[in-house]
Amino acid sequence: MNAGAVPEAGAGTERDAPPAAALLELFERMAVIRATEKAAYDLFMSGLVKGTTHLAAGQEAVAVGASAALRPDDYVFATYRGHHHAIARGATPEACLAELMSRATGLCAAKGGSMHLTVASGSMLGSYAIVGAHLPIACGAGWSAKLRGTGQVAVAFFGDGATNIGAFHEALNLAAVWRLPVLFICENNLYMEYTPIQTVTAVEQPAAGRAPAYGLPAEVVDGNDVVAVMQATSRAAARARAGDGPTIIEALTYRQYGHSRADPGKYRPEEEVDAWLKRDPLTVLAGRLRADGVSEQAVEERRGRARDLVAAAVEAAKAAPPADESTALTDVWADGGAQWRT
């Protein structure tokens, strides 16, 4: 599958697809994420969110599809573009938005912000601002699971730009040598910040194309089809739990905003944007639901529920107290000195 091509609808996902009731739940989860991201954008533009944000609108099917195939105790590691992963692993829109607004009720008590969302209760062990830094850490989590014999898998989500980082290759090699239960899931949205990934990468598929060098299986999937992502993740997780080692999944998707709030995304061809917007993951799943006999009214009810939930979350986050400065140095690992090692 060409990395720059818009995937064809429904390719390879009809067999063993979830029932309509389960798909409706996935649709609502994606709609909640989309509405939360829109709220984050609006709050940022109104001055209520400080710093920057990296929105993942258009990439919801990757997080939701993968999470639907995982166990609650499987480990998840995300990038700074991790709002969708946090919510997919159990974070509420209110906690996420409060975190972005530096409120005491935030997901990390206002210590993480947009780029460091963490859901320990959902085994999401952080969002990482340094590109590729979490990939070796996922190997460590996978090694721990293997040593303890828990059957857990570790899943590292990363963008296409991370495939040209040394940590990506180091992590793949280590996972392959030790046959670690790690899933490397690339959210290939075609751009590493502002640069088209294909202009700086020697292989057509920046993640899956590197798999043969490490003797790893790889799969390229439609990252805007939640069922395709779920099925690919399920296959890879089963391999990992059986002791067959890691897998690379490259999910072709598209971010609908620019790289960050400072980026209007004008470098992307208009026809490319239009083509991918027609393959919006919510539109794709709504079409599947209609084909399964689900009424338009039922789909819109779920979309409306998501909007109402997020609207209430916005008001609750706005009303929450600001973070207490006296807690700034609590719940941290070290103060930068060496005494914590003894």
Domains of the chain: 20-263+273-320 (3.40.50.970)
* pLDDT level of residue 127 (50, 70, 90 thresholds): very high
Provide mean pLDDT across the span 264-292.
Answer: 94
Characterise 180 by phi-psi region: left (phi > 0), alpha (psi -120 to 50), beta (else).
beta
- Predicted model pTM: 0.93
292 near 22, Cβ under 8 Å? no
* Rounded-to-integer distance, Cα 182 and Cα 236, Å: 9
* Rounded-to-integer distance, Cα 240 and Cα 117, Å: 26
Which neighbouring-strand residues pair with 187? 159, 251
DSSP class per residue in 111-170: SS-GGG--BGGGTEEEEESSTTTHHHHHHHHHHHHHHHT----EEEEEEGGGGGSHHHHH
What was the pLDDT predicted at 273? 93
Pairing of strands 195-196, 191-192: antiparallel
Provide mean pLDDT across the span 199-217.
Answer: 96
* pLDDT level of residue 126 (50, 70, 90 thresholds): very high
* Rounded-to-integer distance, Cα 36 and Cα 31, Å: 8
Name residues whose C-beta falls within 8 Å of residue 86's C-beta, 6 or more positions apart in sequence.
Answer: 78, 96, 107, 117, 118, 119, 124, 127
93 near 313, Cβ under 8 Å? yes
Judged against a pLDDT cut of 90, whether residue 103 lies above it is answered with yes
What was the pLDDT predicted at 132? 95
Provide mean pLDDT across the span 250-256.
Answer: 96
The chain-wide mean pLDDT, for the chain, equals: 93
Residue type, 337: G
Provide mean pLDDT across the span 314-342.
Answer: 79
What was the pLDDT predicted at 291? 94
Strands of the chain, DSSP E? 75-79, 124-128, 154-159, 182-188, 191-192, 195-196, 218-222, 247-252
Which neighbouring-strand residues pair with 220? 250
